Structure 1
Amino acid sequence: MLEQYAETAFRGKQETKFRNEIATDERDSMYCRYQSKQAFYPRDGVFGHCFDNSQNSCYKGNITGAEKYARSILAKGKNELAMPLAGNATNIAGFVIFSWAIIHFCIVIFLFVMPLFSLALGAVDVALEFLAGLSLCWIVSKLINWLIWPFLRFKYNLAVIFNRATGMVEVPTKNAKDFDIFPFEEFNAHYRVQHNPKSGFPYRGFTLLHYQQSMRYDQTFSNQIASAFIHWELLQNFMNVTQPLADIPQFEYYREFDKTTAEFDKANGRPKYFWYRVDKSFLNKMSKADDELRKEFNDEEQLDNLLMGKPIKKLTPPDIFKFPWKYADNIKAECDIKFGKTLWQKFTSFLMVDL
């Protein structure tokens, strides 16, 4: 079964029925009915790498331990090759949690801004009222986070799980208490655009949608389509058991558990736990290489090609994306790896709510 899945799911070999026999008006969700009629992303690589600016936060999360903590909550005790990703909320529980996090973030911002702004205007009494009211809101939210949420969070599924070991995509159900599970090859990436009322520029991305069921994973990025292509390529790479995992911070945890990747690393002399050991400045070198590659892409032209069903220009990435350790300086010894947050990171974490 796994061999058949690996043969058909990648490099444009997805079975035709998953592309042509797409349910449109039969779906339960109106949103999914609409999305199923949108343009397809190609089922193969375009950039040839999976590195973008989001890897900076993954690198930081690895070092502080935030990524490990989030994975332990969201992966629900699955195998070591299960990658949980939180896209746009697809059920009421996810929407409530997302809204709570946003509201709490706004409370923290106003807690500092509003009293200072009032003081600047000479309104001391108003500043004290803001400080008292917002502090009370923050305390209540934190108490919920500390005392109540830990007993509830394991009851809800808040992320879509991509399982490299089984080839399955596990999407939380509407009640967020179970998963709908289907093979990765039965999902298509459809073009998605979301209006950004603040800037006026649209967010572009994709909806990874099952070819018949109303099961989805949504992601949007900046007004450029390139980031969406890279993220779609990241998902394909993670689920492609015939190829080693891309060498990016987000995948460092999984490398030693995947047979194909471990064999590749050993054959090429890759330092173990490279992204835990390399200096943060190396990320800038990777980002510059990505910027140079994107100049060849012509974002608007490739977006037009996607919407018109024309071939997307494929790029040839430099070797720094395949063998990054060969281009890195200041790789620490394995025994010098230290995980943990700085005092500032601990303070900001304290202010916010967590999973």
Structure 2
Amino acid sequence: MLEQYAETAYMGKQDAKFRDEIATDERDSMYCRYQSKQALFPRGSVLGHCFDSSQTLFYKDNLNGSAEDCRSLFEIDKKLKLAMNTIPANFIDFIISSWVVLHLINLWFIIFIPSVAFALGATTLALDFLLVLVVIWVISKVMSLMVLPFFRSKYNFTVNFNRLNGIVKVPSSNAKDFEVAPFEKFNAHYKVQNNPKSGYPYRGFSLLHYKYSMRYAKTYANQITPALIHWELLQNFMDVTKPLADIPQFEYYREFDKTTAEFDKANGRPKYFWYRVDKSFLKEMNQADDELRKEFIDEEQLNNLLTGKPIKKLTPPDIFKFPWKYADNIKAESEIKFGKTLWQKFTSFLMVDL
């Protein structure tokens, strides 16, 4: 049955027989048994672009050096590898992710709780709270500097996508090794998880190997559109027959990929465009994305996905394919500046050193 499922799934078909009956007893992971029965995301283009609001963050990270730090941290030094964070897949990953969240919550408490106490006139109590919370922050910060380098060197926490050979590497359950498989042997299945307190749904997909318990998962707040965009992004990165999407996240890779470099040269694209364009241009890209999404009714297309009906396909405007043709302020290469602002350095210092 696994082989029959693979043949239908890879063709992007919604064969209910195989979706409902697949691998009930053949998978080690209960999670994968359940997820493999969920609706399949279609292969290929739906919205037709990979740009969304998250690209603003990648734009900033490119210029302040954070993106380069991440590539070094996860040893993405072979040009065409993409390291992606996923929902924690093992205990160590869960502990570190929880640590980051708790550290951030403590920072908010340092600001909020003493401020409220001061406002209520409880000065002594406010100072006591401030002292305790600052001590907790110091301990967490020092531990991050001492402990996290050890974890980085010993454990794997990201799913790695390799455009050069089409291989996906997923951290093993012990986080010490990688499980390896071709991208084409993964399918994107609908995923929803609910906040246990509010019941609020987070929708997305689990990228599952058709046979083995290897996965990569993403969810977004109550919408299927961002998940479709991210699914198209992964497909685009792994499809060597097409140039990379023209987004800040992929700027670093463009010159190393033959297909993309030939496309850029043929169309006169400015080299290092997303390092040189003014950040105000991101507003134009986001506006174009907003306008395109008006044609894509999220709930309607989610229903189509879940019932196996065709999802509406959009034709994006050229600004997504040739953004440099729509940008007014493009600096000279010699004017490219990298490095964090003072505020970025300060906020980085406050956080745990990941």
Identity %: 65
Aligned to 1:154: 153
Residues 69-218 of structure 1 aligned to structure 2 (within 5 Å):
69-74=69-74, 76-77=75-76, 79-196=78-195, 200-218=199-217
TM-score normalized by structure 1?
Answer: 0.93
In structure 2, the residue matched to 1:50 is: 50
Take 2:350 and 2:272, find their aligned partners in 1: how far apart are those partners?
Answer: 31
The size of the alignment, in residue pairs, is: 345
Indicate if the aligned counterparts of 1:170 and 1:180 stay in contact, CA closer than 8 A. Answer: yes
How many Å apart are 1:15 and its aligned residue? 11
Structure 1, 139-148 or 318-327: larger mean CA deviation = 139-148
Aligned amino acid, residue 228 of structure 1: A
Per-residue CA deviation, residues 120-164 of structure 1 (Å, 9 max, x unaligned), is 111112111111111111111111112232233121111000110
Distance 2:24 2:283 in 1: 44
Task: Give the letter aligned to residue 253 of structure 1.
Answer: Y
Q: Secondary structure at the match of 1:266?
A: helix
Q: Does 1:36 align with 2:28?
A: no
Q: Which position in structure 2 is the counterpart of 1:344?
A: 343
Seen in structure 2, the aligned counterparts of structure 1 residues 242 and 217 have a Cα distance that, compared at 3 Å, is: same
Specify the alignment match of 1:318 in structure 2.
317
Conserved? CA contact 1:14–1:185, under 8 Å: no
- Pairing 1:289–2:288 present: yes
Distance across 2 between alignment mates of 1:330 and 1:272: 14
TM-superposed CA distance for 1:16, in Å, is 11
Cα pair 2:46 2:314 within 8 Å, conserved: yes
Q: Which moved more, 1:220-229 or 1:150-159?
A: 150-159
C-alpha contact (below 8 Å) 2:12/2:42 kept by paired residues:
no
In 2: Cα distance, 1:228 partner to 1:15 partner: 19
Provide the alpha-carbon RMSD of the alignment. Answer: 2.1
Unaligned runs of 5+ in 2: 1-5
The AA in structure 1 aligned to 2:245 is A
Alpha-carbon separation, structure 2, partners of 1:192 and 1:157: 24
Q: 1:24 to 1:169 in 2, by over 3 A?
A: farther
Q: Distance in 2 between matches of 1:26 and 1:316?
A: 40
Please tell me whether the aligned partners of residues 73 and 154 of structure 1 are also in contact (alpha carbons under 8 angstroms): no
- In the TM superposition, residue 26 of structure 1 has moved relative to its aligned partner by 1.8
Structure 2 Cα separation of the partners of residues 317 and 233 of structure 1: 13
Paired residue type of 2:201: P
One-letter amino acid of the counterpart of residue 70, structure 1: C
Q: Structure 2: how far apart are the matches of 1:182 and 1:141?
A: 37
Are the aligned partners of 2:76 and 2:83 in contact in 1 as well (CA < 8 Å)? Answer: no
Alpha-carbon distance in structure 1 between the residues aligned to 2:140 and 2:98: 12
SS of corresponding position for 1:221: strand
In the TM superposition, structure 1's runs of 4+ consecutive aligned residues that sit over 2 Å from their partners are 12-17, 19-25, 196-201
Rounded Cα–Cα distance in structure 2 between residues aligned with 1:259 and 1:319: 22
3-state SS, counterpart of residue 354 of structure 1: coil
1:211-230: CA deviation from partner (whole Å, max 9, x where unpaired): 01111001001211111100
Q: Structure 2 CA distance, aligned partners of 1:16 and 1:202?
A: 23
